[in-house]
Each structure stands twice: as C-alpha cells, then as structure tokens.
Amino acid sequence: MSARALAALALALAPAVVHARPASAGPDRAATQALVKQCGDTEDFSAPAPPARLYGNTFYVGTCTVSVLLVTSPQGHVLVDSATDQAVPAILANIRALGFRPEDIRWIVSSHEHFDHVGGLAALQKATGARVALSAPAARIAQTGAPDPADSQFGVLKDHPFAPVKTDRIVTPGSVIRVGPVRLVMSATPGHTTGSTSWSWQSCADKRCRTVSYVDSISALAAPPYRFTDHPEVVARFRRTFAAIAARRCGILVTPHPSVSNLFERMQGQEPLAPQDACRAYAAKGRKGLDAQLAKETAK
C-alpha cells in the first residue's frame, strides 16, 4: 500500500473531535444555544453547562450560572475563576471537550473570594498543576478557606467554607499574567468583597483581536445583621469602583454571573456582543443597587 493510501486510511479511522471548534472568531451561537437549552431556568451554582467559544481564543467553560473562562495559547492557557468545588469535574470535561488539556493550564486567576467563584480553586489547582494568582485580600481568605467575618454577606457565607488554596503570586493593579502571547492585566475593583479583582486581555483569531473585560461583581448584597449604612468606608469604596468601571472601554464584557450582563443573549446574537456603553451601564446598575440598599436600610 502506498504512503498516500496509508495516510488516507489513517485519516478515515481517526476518532472524531468531541467538540469541534468553529472557524469563526466570533461566539459559537449553536453551542451557546445548546448551553441555554440545557440550563433552562436553574439557579444552581454547580449546574453543568456545555462549553462555547466566546471570542477567538477565549471560551466559556463554566456552569449555567457561574462564569469560568479558558484563554488559550500554543504555549499554555489561563483559567479565569473556578466556580464551586462540585463544578470542577464538569469544568475539566468542558476543557477536554474543546480539544484542550487541563494539564496545559499555566495560571488560574480569580474574581473574588466567595465559595461560588473560588470553591473549586484547590481542586483545579491540583488537577492542572497550574499556579494561582490572587489579590492580597483574596489570598488571605483563600489560605484558610474561611469566609471573611467583615464581608457584608458573612451571615450566609459562614455556612460555605471552601478548601484552602496556596497562592503562588500576589497581584496588584497593573499586574500582568503572561502565557505565550496571552496577557491578562489585573484591576482592583473592591466593593463586593475587599479582594474583588477584574481582568482584561486581547482575544485574537484570524488576525482579529478584541478586548475582553472580566469585570467582577459590584452588587451591594447584605446578609443580616450587616448594614452598609454602618460602614461608610465600604460605601465609599463601592463608589470609587463604580467610577473606575464607568470610565473603562470594556470591549466584550463578562461578569462572574453571566446573567448579570446578559452574556448568553449576547453570545447568541440577540443583543450586541460589545456595546460601547457596556461598562458605563454595568456601573450604573451597581450604583442603583447600592442606592436602593442604602434607602432600604435608612427607611428601617
């Protein structure tokens, strides 16, 4: 048999790709539709969702209600957030389904130190061998796995400890996480937690690059007996963060809970993927929520 015939036979017998990646640089609308169909109206933080391309070399690999992003390169990958401990098997399966190896993840970064975003961090660190980069306040909480007693949601979070995590690098505003051509830039956006962190990078495919901004939660949520009116320094911190976010050009905005920024609707093409006022509108939403919470507390 000729070499050409052998090559053709090998190609015919090769296993099919589990989850073929589309040639387009934009969002994989069919995959996102499958995601939305599978998730339905669930509010479960750990509910598994199939993966979908967000843009270029950035993929959604999280759950139905908690964002986790995979940013890829030939030299290795970065994982953004880790959802819950229960979600880890599905996240790893999503990465493999896209044709990537979890062992090629070099860094894991995070948004904030709540169990629904760092609960799976220790297990993912162990499964991938990746290093972990956190802000100093988040690292202090992560090293124990015990929620911060000063957190506005401590009344609920105290029932949700998570596995302790070793932090390999403390990041500060302007810090850059590098893997091959991938560059993730850190911004401090405290408010929702003391260690709240946002990330931005260029996601490229077919020589087309767009900015992706993973902007942390900015919701002012309080679990009794916490009152923001008793903590003016926290209110001031929120307002500084709102102003900083409003001044940004987000590009493609992603939030730790996809529903907050209508991510799946935008990935399906039902709304613009990267509206020019995305960050300004997101900041305005956070400001409105804080003002409503303060008014509620004052009324009581």
Active site residues: 112, 114, 116-117, 192, 226, 257
Q: Are 198 and 215 in contact (CB under 8 A)?
A: yes
Instruction: Classify strands 131-135 and 105-109 as parallel, antiparallel or unpaired.
Output: parallel
DSSP state of 56: T
Distance CA 29, CA 199 (A): 24
Measuring CA to CA, which residue among 164, 159, 179 is closest to residue 121? Answer: 164
Region label for 177, one of left (φ > 0), alpha (ψ between -120 and 50) or beta (otherwise): beta
Residue 209 has φ and ψ, to the nearest 5°, of -120, 140
Helices (H), the chain: 3-13, 29-39, 88-97, 115-118, 121-128, 136-142, 154-157, 232-246, 263-267, 278-299
Strand, helix or coil for residue 48 = strand
Q: How many residues does the chain have?
A: 300
CB-based burial, 182-202: b 16+ in 10 Å, e otherwise: bebbbbbbbbbbbbbbbbbbb
Q: Which residues pair with 59 in a beta bridge?
A: 53, 70
Computed from CA positions of residues 96, 98, 101, 104, in that sequence, does the dihedral angle turn out positive or negative? negative
